[in-house]
Amino acid sequence: MAYRWTNDLTHDDVTPQGAFLNRRQIMAGMAGLGLGSLAGGAQAQDALEPNSWEDVTSYNNYYEFGTGKDDPADNAHLLTTSPWSVTIDGMVDRPGEYDFKDIMAEMTVEERIYRFRCVEAWSMVVPWNGFELADLLAMAGVQDSAKYVAFETLYRPSEMPGTAYRVLDWPYREGLRLDEAMNPLTLMATGIFGKDLPNQNGAPLRLVVPWKYGFKSIKSIVRITLSDQEPPTSWNMSNGREYGFYSNVNPQVSHPRWSQATERRIGGGLFAKRQPTLMFNGYEDEVASLYDGMDLGKFY
Ligand SMILES: Nc1nc2c(c(=O)[nH]1)N[C@H]1C(S)=C(S)[C@@H](COP(=O)(O)O)O[C@H]1N2
Ligand SMILES: [Mo]
């Protein structure tokens, strides 16, 4: 069945903020039918109009394949994504190498339409398919001592021409606090638009943390390690002044070299107006409480 989106939303179709998580259950039920937002109907819609397949798959950041926005689309076909396994280790009850196929057999894939905001101040709306990271972590059994989750991307120079350049200290590494990782918004994406994830978007599985700047959403994950220490992360190691561990989207805190108050929506055309960036990228109701008592101006 061709995958398509409804374009006929009226203002009455917009979901009130608080109803967002209810939408999830509806989507979970519909994902298997491939109906996505069509089937959600008026009660389950929000106002997000996804970008096109072309936008999402041809304007990418994936430095293992080059630093140009079109390099990943040109080069990521070199990547072998099957077989694939993910090592889950550290403070878990069942450490080991989990085959991607075995993971997929256990997980329920659902659709999530999320805003995606790069620290470079461009944005998209992406219809992801995936499962909650919390469900994957439950498979391995998180121990009480664990406080952080560290992620690593595959490092395979023979298939990743960009790794010949030391723009980052490979492998690409990212991390979350455990409560951030367990939040129901935190997704392990395995697809977009109801299709398998294209290589340039991080096949076969990548993280999506919609309230954080895009670089936190690490691609092509081969290792997940639970620990009690804040893990080192690639962009923070490369420039700690510009890229913090938290990196929550915050329009009030500028990057040292540019404002984060507004963003350019990809696909809007050359003369499109920039739009205001939302606190926590629009997910404030769902995640602000994770940071109670933290100075959000300080933890960039
Ligand atoms: N392994 C790896 N993951 C990565 C990156 C990268 O260079 N390598 N780039 C990050 C950045 S800066 C962004 S904005 C998003 C881009 O995701 P997209 O290309 O699917 O839009 O991936 C993130 N994950
Ligand atoms: Mo980014």
Q: Output DSSP code: residue 18.
A: G
Q: How far apart are CA 232 and CA 245, in angstroms?
A: 8
Cβ(219) – ligand 1 distance below 6 Å: yes
pLDDT at 75 over 90: yes
Dist. CA 65 → ligand 1 center (Å)? 11
> Shortest CA distance to 147 belongs to which of 191, 118, 179, 173?
179
Q: Which domains does the chain carry?
A: 2-298 (3.90.420.10)
Q: How far apart are CA 139 and CA 107, in angstroms?
A: 10
Q: How far is CA 290 from CA 106, 180, 221, 246, 284, in A?
A: 28, 7, 25, 11, 10
Dist. CA 234 → ligand 1 center (Å)? 12
Q: How far is CA 247 from CA 91, 201, 251, 290, in A?
A: 25, 20, 11, 13
Ligand 1 atom closest to residue 72's alpha carbon, by position in its atom list: 19
102-123 pLDDT, tens per residue? 999 999 999 999 999 999 999 9
Nearest ligand to the CA of 69 is: 1
State the pTM of this model: 0.87
* pLDDT for res 297: 84
- Peptide bond preceding 95: is omega within 30 degrees of 0, i.e. cis? no
Are 223 and 151 in contact by the 8 Å Cβ rule? The answer is yes
Q: Whose CA is nearest to atom 7 of ligand 1?
A: 62
Dist. CA 10 → ligand 2 center (Å)? 32
Dist. CA 68 → ligand 1 center (Å)? 12
Question: Which of 219, 237, 263 maximizes ligand 1 atoms within 8 Å of its Cβ, making it the mutation to test the pocket?
Answer: 219
Cβ(201) – ligand 1 distance below 6 Å: yes
Nearest ligand to the CA of 174 is: 1
249-292 pLDDT, tens per residue? 999 999 999 999 999 999 998 899 999 999 999 999 999 999 99
Cβ(217) – ligand 1 distance below 6 Å: yes
Dist. CA 240 → ligand 1 center (Å)? 18
Dist. CA 111 → ligand 1 center (Å)? 20
Question: Which of 58, 61, 207 maximizes ligand 1 atoms within 8 Å of its Cβ, making it the mutation to test the pocket?
Answer: 61
**How does strand 221-227 pair with strand 85-90?**
parallel
Dist. CA 43 → ligand 1 center (Å)? 33
Are 67 and 162 in contact by the 8 Å Cβ rule? The answer is yes
> Shortest CA distance to 265 belongs to which of 252, 288, 281?
281
Phi first, then psi: give them for residue 279, nearest 5 degrees.
-55, 135
Work out the mean pLDDT of the chain and round it to a whole number. 88
Q: Output DSSP code: residue 214.
A: G
Measured at the CA of 112, the angle between CA 108 and CA 113, to 5 degrees, comes to: 165
Q: How far apart are CA 289 and CA 211, in angstroms?
A: 13
Are 176 and 186 in contact by the 8 Å Cβ rule? The answer is yes
> Shortest CA distance to 64 belongs to which of 143, 162, 140?
162
Are 110 and 96 in contact by the 8 Å Cβ rule? The answer is no
Q: How far apart are CA 109 and CA 132, in angstroms?
A: 9
* pLDDT for res 299: 61
> Shortest CA distance to 254 belongs to which of 73, 130, 121?
121
> Shortest CA distance to 36 belongs to which of 23, 55, 47?
23
Burial-class residue 95 by CB neighbours within 10 Å (0-12, 13-18, 19+): middle
* pLDDT for res 209: 99
166-192 pLDDT, tens per residue? 999 999 999 999 999 999 999 999 999
